[in-house]
Amino acid sequence: MSSSDTFHGWSCTGKDEPLVWSELPLKQFDATTIEMEITHCGICGSDVHTMDSGWGPTQYPCVVGHEITGVVTRVGEKVTKVKVGDRAGVGAQSYSCLECDSCKTGHENLCENGIVGTYNSKWPSGDTTFGGYADKWRGDQHFVFKIPDSMTNEVAATFFCAGVTTFAPLRRYNVKKGDRVGVIGIGGLGHFAVLWAAAMGAEVVALSHSENKRQDAKALGCTDFVVAKNPDELAKHKDTLTHILCASYATDFDWAAYLPLLKHNGTFILVAAPEAPLTGIPPFALLLKQIQISGSIIGSPSQIEEMLEFAAEHNVKPWLNKYKMTDIASALQAFRDGKPRYRIVLEN
């Protein structure tokens, strides 16, 4: 294995083990492969769940990170989306079968044969996928996107997972001027949801567990702020929301408190990915107002392209904290301690 076919990255060798800077193999290079030098990689909750085997057994050693931006250094002979020297990014998905009905109709993120994750997964060749806590990345052009000229790599990185995870469902359910959108959890995902919904013309109501983020919510674009543990505050917003996007889900989630906030035919969108099953949903809260509960995961390539254009047009920019890639331990501890305001980005 030549050095040109390897990369260096922060490898997780087991649950609760420290990350180790390691040399590992890149995927096989073929006609549709893009290789890039990584400049930035966002930290996502998925990274921590995976390192901790929270969603199931992890294939160790694992290099996580799926909000990746960089500079293209090599392209296969059939690559048309980007060229050497372009700035590009990749998100949580690196491949799909491209042959099933979902893929052929522009829903590659729902591939019926299973998606290839950017880490902790396998390429069709059998090679392991590795993520962006690293110096280099290789993948298929179908899931790589050119970064708009007006957008920096550090800002763009956060769009490729957190950004599209919140943008896609808000677009799918036609959030627009005149709508009133509640966002549960003003964090990495939730702050993006506020930015998107406000840019789409909706009024946005923050639904938070405490007062701590009231000023942040206002600065992000919220028109109102509700401390969800206060029944009186919740009561004021009964039957007023067209949508609720849930970016924070605890095991004791109080469905009976939140669902009455929705208007008839309202939509509850779950983008948080809890490690435990959903429980305690009161059926008549759904039936009597024809409320729908919807799940959403990342976004398709066409949605990512639409999102990047929308962000550039509306000057949507996340709030982020930046750490050097070499300071990975400090960055991850800050993430686990809930300190980001509101995304952490690693920089090579």
Q: Which residues contact 50 (CB under 8 A, 6 or more apart)?
A: 12, 58, 62, 64, 119, 120
> Helix-strand-coil percent breakdown of the chain, rounded to 5?
30, 30, 45
* CA gap 75, 141 in Å, rounded: 9
Distance CA 153, CA 142 (A): 19
pLDDT at 3: 60
Contact between residue 69 and residue 27 where contact means Cβ atoms under 8 Å apart? no
Closest CA to 245 of 264, 271, 219: 271
Question: Got the DSSP string for 80-119?
Answer: -S--TT-EEEE-SEEE--S-SHHHHTT-GGG-TT--EESS
Question: In sequence order, what DSSP letters do the residues of 7-22 get, joined into one string?
Answer: EEEEEB-STTPPPEEE
The token pair that represents 292 in the structure block: 């729908």
Q: Is 268 helix (H, G, I), strand (E, B) or coil?
A: strand
Rounded CA separation 100/10 (Å): 34
Q: Which residue has the tokens 């390539």?
A: 301
Q: Which fold has domain 164-295?
A: Rossmann fold (3.40.50)
Which pLDDT value is given to residue 252?
85
Dist CA 290 CA 171 (whole Å) = 20
The structure tokens 């686990």 sit at 336
The fold of the 3-147+318-347 domain, in CATH, is Quinone Oxidoreductase; Chain A, domain 1 (3.90.180)
- Residue-level pLDDT, tens digit, the chain, 348 residues: 346 899 999 999 999 999 999 999 999 999 999 999 999 999 999 999 999 999 899 999 999 999 999 999 999 999 999 999 999 999 999 999 999 999 999 999 999 999 999 999 999 999 999 999 999 999 999 999 999 999 999 999 999 999 999 999 999 999 999 999 999 999 999 999 999 999 999 999 999 999 999 999 999 999 999 999 999 999 999 999 999 999 998 888 999 999 999 999 999 999 998 878 899 999 999 999 999 999 999 999 999 999 999 999 999 999 999 999 999 999 999 999 999 999 999 999
Domain residue ranges of the chain, discontinuous segments joined by +? 3-147+318-347, 164-295
